[in-house]
Structure 1
Amino acid sequence: MPRKAKELSAVDLRRVAHPGFGGNYNVAVGGVDGLQLQVTPTGARSWLLRVTIKGKRRQIGLGSYPDVTLAQARERARGFKDQIWNGIDPLAEKRRLNFAQAMEKTLDARMAEFRNEKHKKQWRSTLDTYAVPLLGKMAVSDIDVSDVLRVLEPIWTTKTETASRLRGRIEAVLSWATVGGHRTGDNPARWRGNLDAVLPKPGKVAKVRHNPALSLADAADWFTDLRKRDGMATRALEFVALTAARSGEVRGATWDEIDTEAGLWIIPADRMKAGKEHRVPLTAEAVALLEALPRMQGSDYVFPAARGGALSDMALSACMKRINEARDGGYLDPRSGRPAVPHGLRSTFRDWAAERTDYPREMAEMALAHTVGSTVERAYRRSDMIEKRRKMMAAWGEFLGGGDGVNK
């Protein structure tokens, strides 16, 4: 007769620690034959039930500790052993859960973490584009490091930031699957002590690729060419230039965010990259542009697409491209030599503020909705310099129009 494991108490479990060497450390907890607490080298703990099914030794994940208590683990273990006694394979149902299904359940479980629907779509889009085509139909219990590498390696050095985010999202899906008892063992998408041994550190391969910007010498000519053109995307691009806002903020702007009488555009926090409300002072030129726009019935967007929804990012890019193509040699970034793009207008504004004016750096950073100062400094700063920024944006508009754009 094999010797039965001593029944450990909840207090005993809190004292269990990884010995510091080797792989996973398993401790029999007693009460149910085969029930073990598994401790990984990182300190993560989960429940395992070792059983024999049709003559083969198998293990069943019962969830993480302490989310699943000792009493609950014993209860689940007894349930699975009853199924085996009755000729039922309890792993059969778990094997049916594939990566795509686990991804959906992870998204549902993490809903509270997403600031808005846009962030949820970004999270899903990365996985749909790169992970699901390769892992989607695989059972989560079968996915190992080699499978994760098949997803990451093709883009690790070319799209490093995307790949790094993708790795974290795959890790989150597989962590959910482990806690839910659908897989056991280490997470194959974990970075430290795992993928860091076979992939170069993101910081070593990531190269910042700045958006091509207009040169200050070309800004006025470009703005003149822009104003000669018609179309909603053209007016949106003009508004981007006048406000130094991100194209996504402009494309998503609705009329209830704008007060033309006060000359103010208030972008709500859920549409901002930093998750914080941003006030944009509107100059007389920006207000005139808005008041001249046609209103589309049934659409709240300031710059609606033909069918009433928001303009696409490609609409503004195409407009910029046409202006570039119409000019001999185009409007090129002086550093990279590449054709300027809409988002590069923010860099042009920043260069103007730094090189052609003596406006405070923090005021220009505020205009760009960048985080300025330490946490303490931000806590004590009560003003966003809205009226001072209004004067700065008026000077910027004058510069775009061909003036000197000096401080007013």
Structure 2
Amino acid sequence: MFYLTAGEFLGEARMAERRAEKVLTAAFLANDLAPGKYHDGGNIGLFLRVEANGKRFWVQRLTIKGKRTEIGLGSFPLVKLADARARAVENKRITALGGDPLEAKRKSKDALTFSKAMDLYLAKKEAEFRNEKHKAQWRSTLQTYAVPVLGKMAVAAIETKHILKVLEPIWTDKTVTATRLRQRIESVLGWATVAGHRTGDNPARWGGNLAELLPKPGKVADKGNHPALALADVARWWKALAQREGMAARALQFAAMTAARSGEVRGMVWDEVDLAAKLWVIPAERMKSGKEHRVPLTKEAVALLEALPRMDGSPYVFFAPKGGQLSDMTISAVMRRMQESEEAAGNPGYLDPRNKRPAVPHGLRSTFRDWAAEKGFERDMAEMALAHNVGSAVERAYRRSDMLERRRAMMEAWRTFLTDGAAPQSIVTFIR
């Protein structure tokens, strides 16, 4: 006859208790579950996390070498209850022996960088985008602001402090952009978690995380227009800009001459330009309106473009040092440094006459619009130059002309106003 010792008996009893404590069943998991955590029984630390959007994934809470850690075990129902328990038991066994079940996982997953995760996520997400423009905006926002900081980092290593490094520089100045950027980073890292490439909470999550570290968007978002350059300061500002070196300064000059948006200028490629015809045609997918936009170029704008260097392998007219697009921050930095130089000299600088805030690149479009109104140019023609929709949907449907040649004369007058008092050669100097 086989007898159990007291210790063995107690051990068996405890195992029986743990088995009885298991609360999760396949039938239970088939129900619609409210968001929250649903713990499995026993001491293996297994639970099912249900998100507000209905997504479910397995998590195990362990103490590894004295540090409390959460390990992702995959999403449900891809990973079934029995499989999740088996993985959890194996992790518990490794931990009990002094090992680290995350070590091998980290080694295999560290190769997945944020840039690669972004590409993989967007490849799967493409079908959900309404149009090419929306798709391009997603990638452009991440590429411009997130990739310089997070791009080469392993997704498993990204923490809240890294997200703050991305968001803080633009949180108050470009709150809408920053808010969308945060959401997009959260989506990429959320995919990486469910795909098993990282564990733990999402560091880009707002509630209970970044909300405690950043001002609420509604409290800091700019409720008014972008600070514009005063008409009285235009010639002085242009002359100072012409003395600035670098590709970003040239891009800012070109944006001012054409009254184009920064993103349209930064994304400009040589295939869009006809120097002989003095014409820049921006395709519909790059326009906010979703319609092709023709921009007449003055001879000074053409001279600027002709003086630009070109980089082999890069299609961009105003390229970054590595051949990609210039970032929005790079162009904004030119105006910011110009303002700082003025203030260092004891001058007020280039302030919006209404709100007394330093002018920003996008505000140059407002400066152009004010100038056009002051000079008596037709409203519709000025609005077309800014690529704004003019008239009702019916009117737009019947309108055939975009007033290109008339706008060409208007932009020539605007160029004269811009460069008044600046040396003619200033447009094409300091390209290097």
Superposition TM-score, scaled by structure 1 size: 0.62
1:3-402 map, 5 Å = 3-4=19-20, 5=22, 8-9=25-26, 12-18=28-34, 24-26=37-39, 36-40=47-51, 43-48=54-59, 60-66=71-77, 68-70=78-80, 74-75=82-83, 77-79=85-87, 81=89, 89-94=100-105, 103-104=114-115, 106-112=117-123, 115=136, 118-125=140-147, 127-128=149-150, 158=172, 161=175, 164-165=179-180, 167-168=182-183, 171-172=186-187, 174-181=189-196, 187=202, 189-192=204-207, 196=211, 200-207=215-222, 212-217=227-232, 219=234, 221=235, 239-247=254-262, 249-250=264-265, 253-260=268-275, 263-268=278-283, 272=286, 274=288, 276=290, 278-282=292-296, 286-287=298-299, 289-290=301-302, 293-294=306-307, 313=331, 317=335, 333-337=352-356, 342-354=361-373, 356-357=375-376, 359-360=378-379, 364-370=382-388, 377=393, 381-382=396-397, 387-388=402-403, 390-401=405-416
* Structure richer in helix, relative to its length: 2
Judged with a 3 Å threshold, the aligned counterparts in structure 2 of structure 1 residues 36 and 331 are, in CA distance, closer, same or farther, namely: closer
Distance in 2 (CA, whole Å) between partners of 1:251 and 1:115 is 13
| 1:223 Cα offset (Å) | 9.4
Q: What letter matches 1:282 in structure 2?
A: P
Q: Which has the higher contact order (CA 8 A, sep 6+)?
A: 2
Distance in 2 (alpha carbons) for counterparts of 1:239 and 1:81? 63
Tell me, yes or no, if the aligned pair for 2:173 and 2:222 is still in contact at 8 Å. Answer: no
Q: CA deviation at 1:119?
A: 3.9
Is contact 2:146-2:166 (8 Å) kept? no
Any conservation in 2 of the 1:214–1:333 contact (CA below 8 Å)?
Answer: yes
1:206 alignment partner AA: A
CA contact (8 A) 2:289 2:387 kept: no
- Alpha carbons of structure 1 residues 275 and 93: separation in structure 2 relative to 1, 3 Å: farther
- Bigger mean CA offset, 393-402 vs 299-308: 299-308
What is the CA-CA distance between 1:64 and the residue it aligns to?
Answer: 2.4
Shift in CA distance, 102/77, structure 1 to aligned 2, threshold 3 Å: farther
One-letter amino acid matched to 2:83:
E
Q: Larger deviation: 42-51 or 232-241?
A: 232-241
What's the CA shift for 1:205? 2.4
Q: CA deviation at 1:203?
A: 0.8
RMSD: 5.8
Q: Tell me by how many angstroms 1:249 deviates.
A: 3.6
Q: Which runs of 5+ in 1 are unaligned?
A: 404-408
Q: Describe the superposition over 1:207-254 as per-residue Cα deviations: whole angstroms up to 9, x where unpaired.
A: 4686553333555x5599599989997876654344211355446544
Unaligned runs of 5+ in 2: 1-15, 126-134, 419-432
CA–CA distance in structure 1, aligned partners of residues 150 and 228 of structure 2: 31
Q: Which amino acid aligns with 2:354?
A: R
Aligned length: 376
Compare 347-356 and 206-215 and name the one that shifted more. Answer: 206-215
- Provide the secondary structure at the position in 2 that maps to 1:61: strand
For 1:236 and 1:150, the matched residues in 2 are separated by: 29
Q: Which shifted more, 364-373 or 148-157?
A: 148-157
AA partner of residue 346 (structure 1)? R
